[in-house]
Amino acid sequence: MEFAIALTPHSSTSLHRQLYDALRQAILTGRLAPQQRLPSTRALAKALSIARSTVTQSYEQLLSEGYLQTVVGSGTYVCDQLPDDLLRSQSVPTASKPAPTSIQLSSYGASLADLAHPATAEPAAEISFRYGRPALDQFPLEQWRKLLSLHCRHHDWLDYAADPMGYGPLRSAIAHYLSQARAVHCNPEQILITNGTQQAIYLTARLLLEPGERVAFEDPGYLSARRIFESQGARLLPITVDGAGFQVSHLEEVSEAVRLVYVTPSHQFPTGAVLSLARRLALLAWAERTGSLIVEDDYDSEYRYEGRPIPALQGLGLGQSVLYMGTFSKVLFPALRIGYIVLPLALVEVFSRAKWLADRQTPALEQAVLADFIAEGHLERHIRRMRSRYDQRRQTLVAALKEVFCDRVTILGENAGLHLMVRFQTELQDAELIARAAQAGVGLISAQSHYLAGGEGHEFIFSYSELSEEKIQTGIERIAYFLKPARL
């Protein structure tokens, strides 16, 4: 060894760490050159008057980190290329560097180029009527935490699940709930647990659609579902929505084959219309006659404030032409990512395979906690409690809108769900209105992007679930303040 190594015997840093630091430093500064042979552990231990095991420990650490290499029968050498160089050259490109353009994407990958993440369109305002969240601060976290820690005592949840369709007790609990509360025909074997409705729709589109095939879609309709169908190459057939929901009679006029129909019959998104019984029966009859399949997205049917609950479309038929979807994103919390599909029997096997290919299974621990949460009655209690809380918020919003804007506002779909739609009579363009609201600290969402062919404007989605009554009242007053001088 040509260079001196100074070790401090009674330092708080161990001798092996001091030796490791000294050797690493020597390598990095070039005092020990690439391919240079190091003394044997015995020789170095003797030269430094330390235990051989101390030297061995330091060498092993440098070997495992890639500073040293051993050549069998010859000794230990400094590596040619050091880990620090590799780390430098492989550093993640910074956002300021241009994105690589030479990487060839699949047609699916290329089709996503213009897809904006919905969250980017959300207003970050002091009072935001943004859509999509339940009141997260009201979730019984303590109850959830107890069940979670109870299950965390077992190792069973850590293995791959035997069945990609989902956790048996959860599927049974959902089947029971759906037949009682939503009059859905199903047994647990037909239920596939998915990562939210998003995955349910995604798998459906993957398995049932060929590029170019027709999907009848509510207009206006749920943008995230539409994006999935578009990404799979579907040709969307806009079907207008009126006060009684999706205009089923328009389907009769279509001469081309329609592979799928996507509907939100209990609470049309975003208008809130309820699909009338006559139209439900006509839609089912049409699907059975044409061999088309219906995707029923029953996303927030748990919240109904006036009138009798409307049974699901699926339960009115034989259940063989409807894929019924539900989610816990609205009744519990969206990050849970648990939803489900009730499948026609003939589709169970293929969906099970596709789910396995997509992600093997929905996380087991959360499914187990949810199954207990339902079985112990917490879900029902939470829904009951939230229904009355949301009802108060909804009534505050409706009353404030009516009081402030009188007959210059039309309120749609206020009897159910977590949002309503508002049509203002105003000369202001939506963008202008949104900008003025933002200046007043109020976040508004236009319904425009939910129209396939672009709506007429002046329509806004007002979600009340997250906002206190006080904030709702203040929000509407602030909008009124700038809308009134602008001639509503």
Ligand X SMILES: Cc1ncc(COP(=O)(O)O)c(C=O)c1O
Determine the Cα–Cα distance for residues 213 and 211; give it in Å rounded to an integer. Answer: 6
Min separation Cβ 175 and ligand X, Å: 18
CA of 38: how far to CAs of 3, 44, 77, 289, in Å? Answer: 11, 9, 6, 83
Determine the Cα–Cα distance for residues 368 and 151; give it in Å rounded to an integer. Answer: 8
Maximum distance among all Cα pairs of the chain, rounded to whole angstroms: 96
Burial string for 412-441 (b: 16+ CB within 10 Å, else e) reads bbbbbbbbbbbbbebebebeebbebbbebe
59 binds ligand X (CB under 6 A): no
311 with 183: CB under 8 angstroms? Answer: yes
Instruction: Give the gyration radius of the chain's Cα atoms.
Output: 31
Contact range with ligand X by CB under 6 A, out of 194-202, 203-211, 343-351, 389-397:
194-202
264 binds ligand X (CB under 6 A): yes
334 binds ligand X (CB under 6 A): yes
222 binds ligand X (CB under 6 A): yes
Residue 324 phi/psi, 5-degree rounding, is -95, 125
Contact range with ligand X by CB under 6 A, out of 145-153, 210-218, 279-287, 326-334:
326-334
Determine the Cα–Cα distance for residues 165 and 353; give it in Å rounded to an integer. Answer: 9
Q: Which is nearer to ligand X, 186 or 331 (CB)?
A: 331
List the beta bridge partners of residue 260.
Answer: 215, 293
Contact range with ligand X by CB under 6 A, out of 96-104, 136-144, 196-204, 354-362:
196-204
Min separation Cβ 414 and ligand X, Å: 16
Tokens 């508004």 correspond to what residue?
A: 444
Residue 68 phi/psi, 5-degree rounding, is -120, 160
304 with 181: CB under 8 angstroms? Answer: no
Determine the Cα–Cα distance for residues 23 and 20; give it in Å rounded to an integer. Answer: 5
Min separation Cβ 286 and ligand X, Å: 22
Q: Which is nearer to ligand X, 325 or 404 (CB)?
A: 325
- Which pair of tokens denotes residue 429? 């363009």
274, with CB counted inside 10 A (0-12, 13-18, 19+), is buried
Min separation Cβ 20 and ligand X, Å: 50
Print the binding letters for residues 114-133 with ligand X: x by CB under 6 A, - otherwise: ------------------x-
Contact range with ligand X by CB under 6 A, out of 69-77, 89-97, 191-199, 438-446:
191-199
232 binds ligand X (CB under 6 A): no
Q: Which of 18, 197, 204, 396 binds ligand X (CB under 6 A)?
A: 197
339 binds ligand X (CB under 6 A): yes
Min separation Cβ 245 and ligand X, Å: 13
Number of residues in contact with ligand X, rule: CB under 6 A? Answer: 13
219 binds ligand X (CB under 6 A): no
Q: Which of residues 269-288 bind ligand X (CB under 6 A)?
A: 269
Q: Which of 329, 367, 446, 465 binds ligand X (CB under 6 A)?
A: 329
Contact range with ligand X by CB under 6 A, out of 26-34, 97-105, 119-127, 190-198:
190-198
Site residues (vs ligand X, CB under 6 A): 132, 196-198, 222, 264, 269, 297, 299, 327, 329, 334, 339
